Structure 1
Amino acid sequence: MAAAPANPRTGSLKAQLPPCYYEGYLEKRGAKEKVARRLWTCLCGNTLYFFNSSKDANYVEKLDLSGFVSLIDDPSRDRNLEAARLNLRMKDGEIKLTAPNLEARELWKGFLYSVVDLAVPTTLTLLPGQLHMLKEVVEKEKMRRKARASSRAPSSPLSLPLVGEIPACFRPVSRTEAEVLLERHPDCGNMLLRPGRDGSSLAVTTRQDLNGSVFRHYRVTQKQQGGYIIDVENPIPCPTLHDVINALVEKTAGTLQPFILEEPYEENITFVSSNDENGERTLHCAPTGPLSRAPSLPPKQGLTDELKQKLEKRRTSQE
């Protein structure tokens, strides 16, 4: 098999992507391309992301499957006799894909159909375990889309409705709070997305070191017809908020990185109690042993006898 179900992607831009359901090498040739390219391909959400190699953090192309029309086997022979070809037809053109072998092609078809139709395909030759994986992907993708449809910025005086998926580096904070966060956690990234001061736009705050902290703030406005614009001297249009972040990473050759703060979780259960004698309140750690279960109560005999009497009366009346 050419590839296996993947763990969530890691890296500067991969951390911004939707969950990865399947990945592996594919040869890709677009309608305007004369030569196919061998690219590491990741199915994240309902989008295909193409990387030059499996170790790269930055994708070179992406293909939104919302424009999917059909997926057809290509019977033409490849120079690699084991390889298996596919024709992926989109609303704006056709893309030729080549999988390493027939089994890999069937799996790619299974995962693609699953995220496009939100249903496990029944016409493919797959093993029970593979079908189970597809079922899990369908459920995950349904939940992802439901969460995306209802996603809004956390309620605060600075919040505003955001269209599409919200990048992980979004924080509902003010300009000053953004600067404090970036300075306090320099290892977590140096760029975050936040609501703008006027309440109708967004802003990106960045921090860099130059004989001390240097902060910059960039306005991001939402277009009425969809998408966003980074308001600089030469405005940069971006289809999504993820593209806003990616554009700033690319424009700075990776110097700017999204701020991803991993919130810590407690390892033990603690509680506050008061001393009956002096009223002093102290913090205690709850026991870590297994829970003791209370003995179950026996069934009420009265209810059982009453039920027997009712059944006996019913049986007598029917005779």
Structure 2
Amino acid sequence: MATRPARNRSQLPSCYYEGYLEKRSFKDKTSRKLWTSLCGDTLFFYNEKRDTTYVEKLELSGLLSVTDDGTQDRNLDAARLNLKMKDEMIKFTAPTAEARELWKGYIRSVTELSVPSSLNLLPGQIHMLQEAVEREKERKKKTSPPPVSSSPYITLQADMPACYHTVSRIEAEMLLEREVKRGNLLLRPGSNGNFALTTMQNHDGSIFKHYRVNRKHTGGFEIDVENPVLCATLYDVINYFVERTDRYLIPLIMEEAYEKKISYIQSDEENGEKSVQQASTNLIPPNLPARPVLPRIPAPEPAPEPVEEEDSCLYEIIEKEKEMDSSASPPSEPDKKAQKKPIMPPIPAPRKISLLPSPPSSASSIKNEPKMGNLVDPLAQTISELKQKLEGKAKCGD
């Protein structure tokens, strides 16, 4: 199977590979041989090769893996492969083993945006896969919404209108057709960082219209119609379409439904039957207990300053003296005066030194009298005089 140029389908992305595949899933009772086109990251299935309207499609964004299937087929040349999606397993049968390798290569290259290395292909086929990867990268750059921070007029995602959906042109049409009860107008990403607006009307079938909304460098947006319309914000763009069509166009807002009542499942202890019960909505909230008053905790006293070991003995002596002074009786006035006077040591009387020799005395007194060179000790002289007087009184008594 060889690739061929994509058919002229303006609503489909770029076609990378086409061919017949037998498709079978859990929903299909029997295998169906369908013409399959890989356009962008989506597989489109047609009943015949010449058909221009596809019967179903498979988005590969939820692809988990692509593996070979070794199950034997009645056609000995056929080769099977399995596509594991998030919610189902889809089995395909390719006409040849080479076709299976090419389908695996294109599917993985488009979803992973890189050419896998574990493929049994020729260099020319590898080059074709590389070209498909580059084209897919460029396509995703154009269809992806511009970063929010790139616009000075849209600072947050919440500033986007609620009918803004990140879908392509064909996906927008399918979304509007599926959600016709919710709205028939949506805003989507455009090319070159701009926006596009898609509408759907019913007139003997679904009629889709697409409008370009350009971003102005000077600020605001412009609806690219015959007479361009300037709008300050994207909200003004939506309001312009709604008001100009007498509110026939309704923005498509995908809001999920929310429950209005609180319910729960209760099980009967006797028979084990379960039933849905509705919670009462007139419940009175419980009263919160009074806030306890915490007792005041006194501030801790400051710790005494540490006393150095050298001054500890002196500190004890001072404290003892203070206790003794406080316990003793108060002194009298004279004592107080005496205490005020400083205690001085007694001053000795000046010594009298006589340079004359002492009179002769007895031999015993002379022997006991100390001599200090030519000078006589005055104390020894006084002692000798007293001894003479005592000896004289003793003689008179006799």
Structure 1 length as normaliser, TM-score? Answer: 0.52
Task: Quickly say closer, same or farther: Cα 1:202–1:128, change in 2 above 3 A.
Answer: farther
Distance in structure 1 (CA, Å) of the matches to 2:30 and 2:65: 22
**Percent of residue pairs identical:** 48
Helix, strand or coil for the counterpart of 1:221? coil
Distance in structure 1 (CA, Å) of the matches to 2:89 and 2:129: 25
Runs of 5+ in structure 2 lacking a partner?
152-159, 174-187, 200-206, 214-233, 257-398
Q: What letter matches 1:222 in structure 2?
A: I
Q: What letter matches 1:163 in structure 2?
A: H
> Which whole-Å deviations, capped at 9, do the CAs of 1:237-266 have from their partners, x for residues lacking one?
xxxxxxxxxxxxxxxxxxxxxxxxxxxxxx
2:19 touches 2:37 (CA, 8 Å); kept in 1? yes
The count of aligned residue pairs is: 193
The corresponding residue for 1:192 is 209
Structure-to-structure mapping, 1:157-306, within 5 angstroms: 162-167=164-169, 191-194=208-211, 199-200=237-238, 218-224=249-255
Q: What letter matches 1:3 in structure 2?
A: A
The corresponding residue for 2:108 is 113
Distance in structure 2 (CA, Å) of the matches to 1:36 and 1:115: 25
Helix, strand or coil for the counterpart of 1:16? coil
Distance in structure 1 (CA, Å) of the matches to 2:3 and 2:75: 21
Helix, strand or coil for the counterpart of 1:144? helix
2:66 touches 2:83 (CA, 8 Å); kept in 1? yes
Structure with more strand by fraction: 1
> Which whole-Å deviations, capped at 9, do the CAs of 1:67-120 have from their partners, x for residues lacking one?
101111111111111110011110011000000000000000000010111110
Helix, strand or coil for the counterpart of 1:15? coil
Distance in structure 1 (CA, Å) of the matches to 2:39 and 2:237: 32
The corresponding residue for 1:41 is 36
Distance in structure 1 (CA, Å) of the matches to 2:140 and 2:248: 31
Q: What letter matches 2:60 in structure 1?
A: L
Task: Quickly say closer, same or farther: Cα 1:202–1:31, change in 2 above 3 A.
Answer: farther
Q: Which of 25, 50, 60 is residue 30 of structure 1 equivalent to?
A: 25
Helix, strand or coil for the counterpart of 2:89? strand
Q: CA deviation at 1:149?
A: 1.4
Task: Quickly say closer, same or farther: Cα 1:120–1:5, change in 2 above 3 A.
Answer: farther
1:202 touches 1:219 (CA, 8 Å); kept in 2? no
The corresponding residue for 2:138 is 143
Distance in structure 1 (CA, Å) of the matches to 2:255 and 2:17: 35
Helix, strand or coil for the counterpart of 1:85? strand
Distance in structure 2 (CA, Å) of the matches to 1:191 and 1:87: 36
The structure that has the greater radius of gyration is 2
Task: Quickly say closer, same or farther: Cα 1:92–1:129, change in 2 above 3 A.
Answer: same
Q: Which of 10, 18, 23 is residue 13 of structure 2 equivalent to?
A: 18
**Which structure carries more relative contact order (alpha carbon 8 Å, separation 6+)?**
1
Q: CA RMSD in A?
A: 3.7
The corresponding residue for 2:95 is 100
Structure 2 length as normaliser, TM-score? Answer: 0.43
> Which whole-Å deviations, capped at 9, do the CAs of 1:101-152 have from their partners, x for residues lacking one?
0000000000001011111011111000000000011111111112211369
Distance in structure 2 (CA, Å) of the matches to 1:124 and 1:173: 39
Runs of 5+ in structure 1 lacking a partner?
179-189, 205-215, 226-319
